[in-house]
Amino acid sequence: MTKINDTMKQNSIEAERCLIGACLVDMKSAVTAVDLVRPGEMQHPKHGIIFNAIIETVQNGGMPEMVTIYPLIAGKVDASFLSDVTNNPIVGPAHVRQWAGVIKRQARLQSLAEAGEALVIEARSPLADPEELAASHILKFICDNAHTGKSVGMSEAVPKTMQAIEARGKGEEAPGILTGFMAFDRMKQGLRGGEFIVFGGRPGGGKSALAGNIAVEVAKQGAHVKIFSLEMTRDDFIERMISAAAGVNLQSIRSGQFDDYQHDRVKRAGAMIANLPINIDDTGGLTIGQIGGRARESVLKSKVDLIIVDYLQLVKGKGDTRQQQVGDVTRALKALAKDLNVPVIGLAQLNRGLEGREDKRPRLSDLRESGDIEQDADMVGLLYRIECGSDSPMYGKAELIIAKHRNGPTGKVDLKFEGHFSRFKEA
C-alpha cells in the first residue's frame, strides 16, 4: 500500500513518543490521550502496543506507569524501548491535544492513501458501478476517520440532557421539527435526529402527498429537506406541492386550464416553493449505497435536516430474496439517520391482502416485506382512507394509524384528504 512520506511519518512517530511519554507520568495526560487517540492511528507498531496497554489500564481505573504497563506488553516490547519513550516527557493535556492532532492527521492521510489505491484496483473491474463504488469508499472513509460521537460519562451527559429538558419546559426549544399536523406533533413531539419513520399506504393512497405536505411545512421553518423520489419525476413532485399550496386542482395545473385567479395563486405558490430549502433527487433505481452517499454529500456541501425516501421497495438493497433486500435498505436508512443525526422518513407500499378483509384498516403485517421494516423503524404510520362517494359525510376522511412508536404512544391521527389538491389537512 502507498505510504505517507518519510518526513510526515517521522513527525507522527515523534508525536506518538511524546504523547506516550506524557501518559506514563501524568494521569490527566493519559485520560486526555485515551479520549482522543485510537491505537490503530499509531504509525509505529510498538507505540500501538504500548498505547493499547495504556487504554486498558486507564479504563480499569489504574495509573499507567512503567511498572503497571510493562507486564501487559512483555514479549512484544522490550523494557529498553519502553524506557526510551519516557525520557524527558513534556506533560499536560494541552500538549497531548497538540500531539494527538498530528497523530490523527497523519493517520487520516495514510487511510486516504490506502483507500485511493484500493479504489484504483476496484475501478478496473468491468462490472463496477462508478457511483456506488465512490459512495462506498466515501462512506468507509467517513466512518473510519470522521468520528462525531464518543463514549460519554453521566457527569457530562446528564447536565446537557437536563438543559434541553428545561429549555423545552420553558418553551425555548422544540423537542423536534414540527410537521404542521398538530395532532401528530403532539403525539410525536416533532421529528428528531436519528429517527427512522415509515409511512405506509396503498398505491394512490396519498403517501407521496403526505410526504410533500410535510416537506413544505418543515422547509417553511427554515429546515433543509432532501427528497429521494424514486417513483415520481421532480416535475410531478413539484406540481403536487404547488397544487397543495395554491389550493388549485392538480389536473388543472397539469392541463394548464385555469382562470386568472387560479393562475395568480399558482404563480404565488410556485414563487414560495422556489425559495424553500428543498432538494429533490429523482434518479430512478438508486441503490441504498447511492442514497447514503448522496445524502452524505449533501450534508458535506450544505445542510440536511430531514431526508425523505419515496419509496422503500423501489430502493435496491443486497440479498438473495426481496425480503432480505428490503431489510438491507431499512437497516441502512436507520444507520444513516443515526450517523447524520437527522430524521429519515421512508414511504412504503402495503400488501393487497388488506383489500380482501372486511376491516380494511391497515396493520403492521400489511407492510410488504414487513418484518425488517417494522423492526428497524422507530415509528410506523399507516394511511387509511375511507372510500365513499362525494355526497357522503365521510368523504375525504382519512386516518394516520400510528401502529408502532418506540418512544411514545400509538393511536390514530384524524385527517382530511383533499385529493384534487394533493394534500392532507387536520380533520
Per-residue pLDDT of the chain (427 residues; tens, 9 = 90+): 444 455 556 668 888 888 888 888 888 888 888 888 887 888 888 898 999 888 888 877 788 888 888 888 888 988 888 888 777 667 667 788 888 888 888 887 877 777 777 777 877 777 777 766 776 666 555 555 544 445 566 777 777 778 777 876 776 666 688 888 888 888 888 898 889 999 988 887 888 889 999 999 999 989 999 999 998 888 888 889 888 888 888 888 888 888 888 889 999 989 999 999 999 998 888 888 888 888 887 887 778 899 999 888 888 888 878 788 888 888 889 988 988 889 999 998 887 767 667 777 888 887 766 567 878 889 999 998 876 555 656 677 888 999 888 888 888 888 888 878 888 888 7
Extract the C-alpha cell encoding 93: 493535556
Q: Rounded distance, CA 215 to CA 211, Å?
A: 6
CATH number among 2.40.50.110, 1.10.860.10, 3.40.50.300, 1.10.10.10, domain 6-145:
1.10.860.10
Q: How far is CA 119 from CA 1, 116, 288, in A?
A: 12, 5, 19
In this structure, the strands spanning 344-349 and 306-310 are: parallel
Q: Which residues contact 165 (CB under 8 A, 6 or more apart)?
A: none
CATH 1.10.860.10 domain span(s) along the chain: 6-145
pLDDT computed for residue 1 by the predictor? 42
Q: Which residues contact 73 (CB under 8 A, 6 or more apart)?
A: 49, 50, 53, 82
β-pair partners for 344: 196, 307
pLDDT computed for residue 2 by the predictor? 46
The H or E element containing residue 295 is helix 288-301
pLDDT computed for residue 252 by the predictor? 86
Nearest-5° Cα angle at 112, 18 to 125: 150
Q: Rounded distance, CA 203 to CA 420, Å?
A: 16
Extract the C-alpha cell encoding 265: 395563486
Three-class SS of residue 135? helix
pLDDT computed for residue 148 by the predictor? 44
> Phi then psi for 298, rounded to 5 degrees?
-65, -40
CATH 3.40.50.300 domain span(s) along the chain: 175-426
Q: Rounded distance, CA 62 to CA 74, Å?
A: 18
Q: Which residues contact 77 (CB under 8 A, 6 or more apart)?
A: 46, 49, 50
Fold entry, domain 175-426: Rossmann fold (3.40.50)
Q: Which of 9, 96, 85, 83 is nearest to 44 (CA)?
A: 9
Q: Rounded distance, CA 364 to CA 401, Å?
A: 10
In the chain, the largest separation of any two C-alpha atoms, in whole Å, equals 92
The pTM for the full model equals: 0.67
pLDDT computed for residue 61 by the predictor? 78
pLDDT computed for residue 195 by the predictor? 92
